[in-house]
Amino acid sequence: MPGALPATKWANHHLEWGRETYMMGVINVTPDSFSGDGLIEETLTPGEVVARAVAQAQQFVTEGAMMIDVGGESTRPGFAPITAEMELDRVLPVIKALYAVLPEEVMISIDTYKAEVARQALDAGACIVNDIWALRRDPDMAALVSERAIPLILMSNMRGYQRREIVSDVVRFLAQSIDLALAAGVAWEHILIDPGIGFGTTAEENLTLLRRLGELRVLGRPILLGTSRKSTIGLVLGGLPASERLEGTAATIALGIAQGADIVRVHDVREMMRVVKMSDAVVRGTFHTP
**Residues 212, 194: Cα–Cα separation, whole Å:** 13
Neighbours of 39 (CB within 10 A): 20
- Tell me how many degrees the CA angle 152-190-173 measures, rounded to the nearest 5: 55
What is the spatial distance between Cα 121 and Cα 126, in angstroms, rounded to a whole number?
6
Q: Is 265 a catalytic residue?
A: yes
Distance CA 129, CA 70 (A): 10
- Residue 53 half-sphere exposure, CB side, CA atoms within 13 Å? 34
All residues at 6 or more sequence positions from 86 whose CB lies less than 8 Å from its CB, including other chains? 72
- Report which residue type is found at 116: E
Strand order in the sheet with 22-28: 191-194, 152-155, 128-131, 107-111, 67-71, 22-28, 263-266, 224-225
Residue 167 and residue 142 in contact, taking contact as beta carbons nearer than 8 Å: no
Active-site residue identified among 119, 221, 230, 245? 230
Q: Where are the beta strands (DSSP E) in 39-169?
A: 67-71, 107-111, 128-131, 152-155
> Rounded distance, CA 237 to CA 132, Å?
27
Closest CA to 53 of 118, 130, 108: 108
Nearest to residue 223, comparing CAs of 18, 66, 64? 18
Give the whole-angstrom CA distance, residue 133 versus residue 17: 24
Could you say which of 90, 221, 245, 265 is catalytic?
Answer: 265
Catalytic sites, residue numbers: 230, 265
